[in-house]
Amino acid sequence: MANPVINMFLYRIFIWLYPKVVWLVSFSNQKADKWLKGRKAIFKELSATFHTNGSPVIWMHCASLGEFEQGLPVLEKLRKQYPGYKLLLTFFSPSGYEVRKNHPAVDHVFYLPMDSPSNASLFLNIVQPSLIVFVKYEFWYYYLHEAKHRNIPLLLVSGIFRKNQLFFKWYGGVNRKMLSYFSYLFVQNNASAELLQTIGVHENVMVSGDTRFDRVISIADNFESIPLIDQFCKDEPTIVAGSTWTEDDEELDHFANTNPSIKCIIAPHDIEEERLKECLVLYKHSILYSDYEKAVLSGAGVPENINVLIIDNMGMLSRLYHYAAICYVGGGFGGDGIHNILEAAVYGRPVVFGPEYDKYFEADELLDCGGAFTIEDALELEKLLKELFSDTNMYGEAADASREYVKSRSGASEKVIRYIQEKRLLIS
């Protein structure tokens, strides 16, 4: 086994080096710049917010936007069950903070100060949370250690574990130590629980499922229409491609360009200017959502040959899938794999994605039940799309399978709340 002193030394090097690398990158990267600026006066802002706070606090930490969506069903239930508590939400990434910094489900939203012994101690001194919830992943040693030292209940929600993670490597002693600081681990599947058992973590583990199912069901049940999208689609067959990368658009663009009667809504994962320009070049008859909005509201009119709408804003995607006949979820041609397929499947639509999906058990399950299809290249994609549009039986079976799959996996957030109640971690 690796020397724990060396492991800890390497971790300290990492947390010391990380902000410096971000600083170097920030001169040419907007996201890195926001990461730095958001933490500049973080403790001053925290002190100003919490120094007069007379209410107990529940703190939830999320890495980014996706984890927030995962944690939101738990936050909403906590708000309802424990109205006397203030809810604090922290993000590590600007992608989450910038989009959700004013979300009504919580009282306060901040960036998480970089992990260190002093930062963790000061943060908890200021906030004094009664309960801490981390969502899915992102484990910060000193925050977890300090929470354990202070006997603050610490939960992991929708945890997911894989063999290639550091917890299960011979040199992952620091990471295994972090797991021991949690009061309870709610994991998504049996495979995660079985992996944890191999490193002696089994007493405080529950296979609760994934809270994302509860979240997407809530979004679908409380769907709010987008008038401009209604106007663009006009009840015509529509493909919604969400969280696409360049490789995804290069697979899809030929079909969109040669099938003008089919509408396409493209929501790129990255909406930086260069990426949007790239989409406008790939899709020959396209327009940005912001330009479409201006044209419609001003009465100037939209060119007749436009069949592709490129979304240049954040936060709309989960509702866009409602308008699809077929949903394409991006990321499947990159190393990190596909994005959230549940946002699409919940509406009862066939879901299509690329070949990189092995990190996501829900992709395997949705493929197995017939609600999803995976493709290797543009030719395979075009063949599949034509089949789905022309074969009503094939389409109907896939759509029904998607809807039923999501519905059958609900209830994970309720299990978390039930545990909090039964263990009396909070006072109503």
pLDDT value of residue 210: 96
**226 and 328 both lie in a single domain:** yes
Name the stretches of the chain with pLDDT < 50: 1
Find the CATH number of the domain harbouring 40: 3.40.50.11720
Q: Is residue 428 part of a domain?
A: no
Which residue range(s) make up the domain with 259?
A: 220-408
Asked if residue 164 and residue 238 are part of one domain, the reply reads no
Q: At what angle do helices 117-127 and 141-149 cross, to 10 degrees?
A: 50
The structure tokens 């040669």 sit at: 258
Report if residue 73 sits inside a domain. Answer: yes
In a domain, 227, yes or no: yes
Both 16 and 32 in one domain: the answer is yes
- 205 and 231 together in one domain: no
Q: Based on the number of CB atoms within 10 Å of its own CB, is 141 exposed (0-12), middle (13-18) or buried (19 or more)? A: buried
CATH number for the domain that contains residue 299: 3.40.50.2000
What global pTM score does this model have?
0.88
Q: Are residues 230 and 178 in the same domain?
A: no
Q: Are residues 267 and 162 in the same domain?
A: no
| Total number of domains in the chain | 2
Indicate if 415 and 371 belong to the same structural domain. no
Residue 367 domain-assigned (yes or no):
yes
How many Å apart are CA 288 and CA 309, to the nearest integer? 6
214 within some domain: no
Q: For the sheet containing 286-288, what is the strand order?
A: 286-288, 308-310, 263-268, 238-244, 326-329, 351-353, 372-374
- Residues 87 and 128 occupy one common structural domain: yes
Q: Are residues 29 and 134 in the same domain?
A: yes
pLDDT of res. 353: 98
Q: Are 204 and 309 in the same domain?
A: no
Q: Are residues 164 and 249 in the same domain?
A: no
If asked whether residues 367 and 234 sit together in one domain, one would say yes
